[in-house]
Amino acid sequence: MILSFGVFLFILFFQPFPLEMLEYENRLLFVTGFAVIIFLVAFIILILLPLMVPKLFKVSDWEYGPSLFVSMLYLVLSSTAFAFYIRYVGRAELSFYIMFKVLLVNLLPLIFLIILYRYKYMREAVGILKEQNREYRLKIKDFENNQDEEEIDILSDNKSDKLNLKFRDIVFIKSADNYIEICFLEKGLVAKKMLRSTLKKIELQLANKRNFIRCHRTRIVNIKFIDKLIKSYGVHSLKLNCCDETIPVSRQYLMQVRIALTNFV
């Protein structure tokens, strides 16, 4: 119906075929005939034939639109019907130029149909990809939650001191000369502990943990405790949601911090 209405409007406004032989009041009726032809041909080829001969007209295979055979059949039948209609109803002499315009006019519904099928296919593909993306995000979330339940042993250089924590409880780690200061949650409260070690060693222990990111030469922070990235007088820093301490962000790590915050789910 949409195809036939589109052809009706196109012929009515652009008048590609001679209408001089017809009375003015009959011209609208004549143009309507072209729309009826398109409707009948489309109904026969796109609906009736697939029902009657399903092996030759498999609609399930039309992911990108009708097959080449179906498209050519539609083009031949509709163009032939147009030619007879113009010659015997419109009483106009057929010429190569008129037949060329007949072919172009009949190509328009076919092109629209192919675009429509492509759009439908792409929309379904996008829907499938969105669903897959949602499932992957849920799996990643489950994996990260399992990782958060894992524990880490942070040892001092001389191994005389040790701190055992769950990954989820580590807020940030700060280097201070030959020591590191670990900020963590303990029974819902923020606590800190100093150990003789280096930030490089703890960074290696956290290398496969997605929630932890280096944001400064002296800082590693847990993304889930970040409230927002703020900028003041050209200096960037991170505001935490568990304490009042502000974490500096150096220009070297600014881009990867922004990307990590954007991708954090």
pLDDT tens-digit map of 76-98 = 999 999 999 888 887 788 888 88
For residue 73, CA distances in Å to 41, 82, 221 come to 10, 14, 66
Res 243 pLDDT > 90:
no
Verify that 6 and 125 share a domain, yes or no: yes
pLDDT of residue 55: 72
Verify that 107 and 166 share a domain, yes or no: no
| Average pLDDT of the residues in 237-257 | 91
Verify that 126 and 157 share a domain, yes or no: no
Rg (alpha carbons) of the chain, rounded to whole number: 35
Output the CA angle 181-196-251, nearest 5 degrees. Answer: 50
> Can you give the pTM of this predicted structure?
0.49
Share of the chain above pLDDT 70, in %: 89
Verify that 35 and 161 share a domain, yes or no: no
Would 145 be classed as within a structural domain? no
Res 121 pLDDT > 70:
yes
pLDDT of residue 24: 62
CA dist., res. 114 & res. 106, Å (int): 13
- Per-residue confidence band for 181, with pLDDT thresholds at 50, 70 and 90: very high
CA dist., res. 155 & res. 159, Å (int): 5
CATH at residue 168: 2.40.50.1020
Mean pLDDT of the chain: 84
Verify that 110 and 164 share a domain, yes or no: no
What's 59's DSSP letter?
A: G
pLDDT of residue 183: 93
Dihedral in degrees, nearest 10, Cα atoms 84, 85, 89, 95: -60
